[in-house]
Chain A
Amino acid sequence: SYELTQPPSVSVSPGQTARITCSGDKLGDKYAYWYQQKPGQSPVVVIYQDSKRPSGIPERFSGSNSGNTATLTISGTQTMDEADYYCQAWDSSTGVFGTGTKVTVL
C-alpha cells in the first residue's frame, strides 16, 4: 500500500521559516494536500493541489511537490501556527495521509 512519511517534529523560532517534508514514491506525479490540526479541533486544509491556498489561509503558507517529496513551508512562523500538520494524497482512489508532523514554535 502507498505510504507517506513525515518527520515527527519540527521546531522553529517565531518569525523564522518552518519546512515540513512529505515523502512518497513518485509523489510528484500526484497532487499533495496539507492539513493543519490544532488540539481538540478538526483538521483544516491549508494547501491543496500542491501549492494553492484556500480562501482565508495566510500567505505565509506555501507548498511545492516534485519527485518523491512534497514540502509545506511556513514563512514568518507565528505562535498560532503551532499545530500538527498532515500531508495527504490520492493513490488510485484511495486516500492516504502522512504520518504527521508536530510543529513547535519556541
Chain B
Amino acid sequence: QVQLQESGPGLVKPSQTLPLTCTVSGGSFSSSNNYWSWIRQPAGNGLEWIGRINTRGSTNYNPSLKSRVTISVDTSKKQFSLKLNSVTAADTAVYYCARVGDSSGYGNAFDIWGQGTMVTVSS
C-alpha cells in the first residue's frame, strides 16, 4: 500500500527557508486523480493546510501562506517538496505530507498521511 515519509531538517534559523521532502512508496504516484499536500500542526493546536500539487505541477496554496510557500514535484523520484521562506517561531510545528484524491474511492479526503516531522524555528 502507499506510504508517505517526510524528511528534512529538524531545526531552522529564523528568516531562513524551511525545506521538506515527502517520499511516496508502495503505489502509484502519477495518477491524475491525486493531489499531494502539506499540512502542519503547531504543538497543542489544530491542523493547517499549507498547499497541494499534482504530478503535472498544478498547485494550490493557503492564501495566508501563499507569499512564502513553494511546493514542487519530482515524479522520477516519487517525491514532492515544500519550501517555506522567511520563517519565524510561529512556523514551528509538526509538518505532515498527505495524499488527497479519489484513488482510494474516498473523494477528496486526505486518505494517506505521513508520520509527520517536527520542525523547530530557533536561533
Counting contact residues on chain B (CB < 8 A from A), the size range is 20 to 34
B109 touches A42 (CB 8 A): no
Which A87-103 residues have C-beta < 8 A from chain B? Answer: 88, 90, 93-100
User: Given A1-B63, A1-B64, A43-B113, is A97 in contact with B106 using a C-beta cutoff of 8 Å?
Assistant: no
CA A96 to CA B39, docked complex, whole Å = 10
Q: With the chains together, A93 CA to B46 CA distance in Å?
A: 20
Task: Report how far A81 CA is from B39 CA in the complex, Å.
Answer: 23
Whether the Cβ atoms of A31 and B104 lie closer than 8 Å is no
Return the contact of B113 from the options A42, A52, A86 (Cβ within 8 A): A42
Binding site for B on A (CB under 8 A): 1, 31, 33, 35, 37, 42-45, 48-49, 52, 54, 86, 88, 90, 93-100
**B interface list, Cβ under 8 A from A:** 37, 39, 46-49, 52, 60, 62-64, 96, 100, 104, 106-111, 113-116
